[in-house]
Chains A and B, each alone.
Chain A
């Protein structure tokens, strides 16, 4: 139960509501993550998982409810705000820009500049990007091969690794992984799960979303279950079986 230190959670979402037109996608959901804790977020399609993590990563604001980071109330106007608070997200599909190469993807939005600092007209330091991308991927013990390959030329596992490397480069406090293994082969999936355990050792909180419950149970400390926009379960992983989790997900005793 490492990471569950009993103290204040690193991030808390309280009473989160979200409407899309007439659809009440989230109905007052509470959610929290401690540092170094892996939280598995599960639920059927349309249960509100993606909506919840998109609110947490700043993609859109909640219609009601609040987000508290390290005890302080925050408001995320954009993913950038969430990133500045140390929340990084690895998205299922939207992760990479296929027509850019590996270093360009890892540093997208954060390119080191030769001159010009953070301005749009800054000259890119391509040499540094290549060197640091290589060092980062070596630390993660993954082999991409040719770093100058475009993201669209990589395999699913390589793409996922690049997406994760990009998130880790920013040294987040919380990493949200939305279906990180959906497109992966068994061997590659195992690598991603190993990576999640390594993050935990580094005291990074992880929100892990997956349809494959075996994976979730293999890495998560705690499991949060959503159904039709409501939280129907929040239990330590070792006090819950997969069968019980499925029952909660689909409802109807």
Chain B
């Protein structure tokens, strides 16, 4: 095959950009700091990336359909708090408490999906409303105070399986399943179809509303998994947990080549995008750059990524 066609095909889902950016960052980081490639630091990066990446997984799928979910950070918080409150105050067994937290995430996602697909509120507004309600609900539930000190068996979720953090393995597993679903199931095909041409997809008889509902439910579920993971990692559920995470999740997806206009991108790319965000934060920490400057640096990187990705036509003609 013509190598040009071959290259275009490989880059159809725009994985090359985030992969290149990640490679570049790793090289820069390794040369700037001797600590970067130590096993300790790598484990740290993998733990850190897990939670942002799992939020980004759900976010990326919503964006692929042409929507956006601003509520993932707040849904993370309420799911984490519900799990914590069930365990600490209600004395519910760990598996049930976790299921309760995940259930709250699914419910929040379902409400988002219903608002967007049935009531036809733009996803930006619907999920903004959900963000406020979920954040408020978290504060009401916890009285605005952290719930902390979980059983060891719960904290084990943030432990290690051999050399790898368990959190990372959970996230990685979710990504593998998600990517397979996107590439090989009817649902995945419809996610791309809805993002590419929603009206056309509806006209061939696809139940577009159901696809959107499902995508938001899965985003809610991902956020809830993130909430449980963060509980275990911090040994506490903070009512302010996940503030601003929706922006990190969106940034990871965009850096990973997911087009905000929908229909283009992949989870593989999103995963690299999340790694780019995390490694960047890690480098800045190792270089002892203050947190305030880190925000600026992340914003600049995102702007640069958005500019370079928007070159070329929407569907990579």
Contacts and interface: CB of A to CB of B under 8 A. Distances in A.
Interface of A: 57, 59, 78-80, 83, 89, 91, 94-100, 104, 108-111, 113, 116, 119-124, 126, 146, 148, 150, 152-153, 166
Contact of B196 (A95, A100, A126): A100
A83 B205 contact: yes
A21 to B, nearest CB: 17
B192 A80 contact: no
A79 B205 contact: yes
B189 interface: yes
Contacts of B145: none
A99 B185 contact: no
A100 B187 contact: no
A97 B205 contact: no
29 contacts: A78-B205, A79-B202, A79-B203, A91-B200, A94-B203, A97-B201, A97-B263, A98-B197, A98-B263, A99-B192, A99-B195, A99-B196, A108-B189, A109-B204, A109-B205, A111-B186, A111-B189, A116-B185, A120-B187, A120-B190, A120-B211, A121-B185, A123-B184, A124-B185, A124-B189, A152-B314, A152-B317, A153-B315, A166-B204
A76 to B, nearest CB: 11
Given A97-B201, A99-B263, A146-B5, A121 B196 contact: no
A100 B206 CA distance: 15
Interface in B190-240: 190, 192-193, 195-197, 199-206, 210-211, 214
A95 B200 contact: yes
B264 A89 contact: no
A104 B189 contact: yes
Given A78-B205, A109-B206, A153-B317, A96 B197 contact: yes
Contacts of B206: 108-109
A79 B202 CA distance: 8
Contact of A100 (B185, B189, B202): B189
Contact of A122 (B186, B264, B317): B186
Nearest to A84: B205
Contacts of B120: none
A120 B190 CA distance: 9
Contacts of A119: 186
B35 interface: no
A95 B203 CA distance: 8
Contacts of A111: 186, 189
A79 B189 CA distance: 19
Interface in B156-203: 181, 184-187, 189-190, 192-193, 195-197, 199-203
Contacts, number: 92
A108 B193 contact: yes
A152 B259 CA distance: 16
Nearest to A57: B203
Contact of A99 (B204, B214, B264): B264
B196 A79 contact: no
Given A94-B203, A108-B204, A150 B12 contact: yes
A113 B200 contact: no
B196 A113 contact: no
Contact of B184 (A97, A124, A148): A124
A97 B196 contact: yes
A120 B199 CA distance: 19
B203 A89 contact: yes
A98 B196 contact: yes
Contacts of A96: 197, 200
A89 B204 CA distance: 9
B185 A120 contact: yes
B221 to A, nearest CB: 15
A26 B245 CA distance: 51
A120 B203 contact: no
A57 to B, nearest CB: 8
Contacts of A121: 181, 185-187
Contacts of A104: 189, 193
Given A100-B192, A104-B189, 15 more contacts: A79-B203, A79-B205, A83-B205, A97-B263, A99-B195, A108-B206, A109-B201, A111-B186, A116-B185, A121-B187, A122-B185, A122-B186, A123-B185, A124-B185, A166-B204
Contacts of B199: 94
Nearest to A109: B204
Contacts of A148: 9
Contacts of B193: 97, 100, 104, 108
B71 to A, nearest CB: 23
Interface string B287-317: 0000000000000000000000000001111
B189 A91 contact: no
Contacts of B315: 98-99, 150, 152-153
What 9 A-B pairs have minimum CB-CB distances, sorted nearest first?
A80-B205, A99-B196, A109-B204, A152-B315, A99-B263, A97-B196, A97-B197, A120-B187, A94-B200
Contacts of A78: 205
